[in-house]
Amino acid sequence: MDTYLPFFSFGRLRMGEAFGCLSRYALLRPAGDNHRCISAGYSGQNGSGRWNIHGFTLVELLVVITIIGLLMALLLPAVQSAREAARRTACANNLRQIGLAMENYHSQYICYPTGGLEWRPAETAAYKNRKNYAWSVFLLPFLEQEALYQSIDFNKPFDDPANAQAAATILPVYLCPSMGRSSLLRQGRGATDFGGINGTRRVAQNNPPNGVMVYDKYFQAAHIRDGLSNTLAVAEAAGWPDGQWINARNVYDVYWPINYRPPPGQMPENEIVSVHPGGANGLFCDGSVRFLPQSLEMRILNALCTRANGDTVEGF
């Protein structure tokens, strides 16, 4: 005689078949010597007393694959956008660390670091002994890189063989995570994706330099009369061949709009350029970091690049 439980009947099912049905949340009902297992994949017993098992048909499989493909096509751009947003945030955080280091440098020395020490305007014999150290070198002690700073021989130029090992050090704080590159070195030296703002050529041809990062000069906060929060100190300069944190050539003046790509035949220039869609990150003299949209008016960009031109920045 069959033994019945609420909503379930085991009857003459073998133990393995009963557990198989239960594991699929089967419903059993008595039907003489035969019982039906209402469950995905089971359609009842055949004449030999075995259970018939059915899988997916080809059409069903193709439908499932098509739906999965459509979902992936819809979700992939969203995933990529989220990843880029995270990389842009990480880039801005690196600039914030640089800004904090600049503020600590100013607190200790009562000035901001020079744009470059013993600037080397040309690679000729007349200037070969110029040391050409960048502003980013002098921030190392304030970026928890005191040991690296002490390993540099400042009595010799930045590219002297004695400084090769130190110059090849990779410093993530000077890199933008969005930059796709095969190597973190440029010409054998640690890369940087950030450059100091020397000024803008759209104001008096930047002669004398009207920015904050000026070669062999030091400025105090009081010298930045346009306002610390209205004056750029550092901005992204992705892909520049001389973008090395030890090399004073990672300073530039601005002429073109943000993320400007010169057409074929035009000589490339070091400008505010990033690989972020829609703009680039910039560090201001008050330590704040803002995303500079590439639609920013040149009038406003010029005002942000000068330290004491008397400009009034509105709408930014």
| DSSP label of 53 | E
- CA dist 188 and 286 (Å) reads 33
Question: For residue 75, is pLDDT > 90?
Answer: no
Average pLDDT over residues 173-185: 90
Question: For residue 30, is pLDDT > 50?
Answer: no
pLDDT digits (tens, 9 = 90+) for 212-228: 999 999 999 999 999 99
Split at pLDDT 50, 70, 90, the class of 41 is very low
The candidate with the shortest Cα–Cα distance to 305, out of 204, 173, 155, 154, is: 204
Q: Other C-beta atoms within 10 Å of 238: how many? A: 25
Q: How many residues does the chain have?
A: 316
pLDDT digits (tens, 9 = 90+) for 98-126: 999 999 999 999 999 999 999 998 888 88
Is this model's pTM higher than 0.85 or not? Answer: no
Q: Is the peptide bond before 263 cis (omega within 30 degrees of 0)?
A: no
Question: For residue 23, is pLDDT > 70?
Answer: no
3-state SS, one letter per residue, for 164-184 = HHHHCCCCHHHCCCCCCCCCC
